[in-house]
Amino acid sequence: MPVKHLVLLQFKDGASAETVKDGTSRMLSLKEGCLHPTTQKPYIKTLTGGKDISIEGAQNGITHAFVVEFESLEDRNYYVNQDPFHAEFKSYMVPRVEKFIIVDFAEGVF
């Protein structure tokens, strides 16, 4: 069952444009940098994202959104719990963001 992993971020106040660019570039690099433990090949199916452009005013401070797609729950679980490239990314990002929201879902499952 494919799994979508939605990541919403708010960078800390005063974060430089360079910090935001570096953080978002690192997020996008997860697609090629996260390697399956047995095949040693990238296992993220798709990864896309961008800066908020909503006009509704309901962002609650969130400035950037990303959608990561995995082929299976097992791949998502490896990514979250064991992938060393993802762990390195989190170590870099967590001190630079004010808040983050992460929601995982299987499309069409309610």
User: Any idea what the CATH number is for the domain that residue 56 is in?
Assistant: 3.30.70.100
Any domain includes 12: no
Residue 4 maps to a domain: no
* CA 86 – CA 79 distance, rounded (Å): 7
Query: Mind listing the pLDDT tens digit for each residue in 29-80?
Result: 999 999 999 999 999 999 999 999 999 999 999 999 999 999 999 999 999 9
Residue 92's domain comprises 18-103
The residue with tokens 């097992």 is 74
Does residue 8 form part of some domain?
no
The predicted pLDDT at position 97 comes to: 97
In a domain, 5, yes or no: no
Report the domain count for the chain: 1
Mean pLDDT for all residues in the chain: 97
First to last CA, the chain: 14
Q: What is this structure's pTM?
A: 0.94
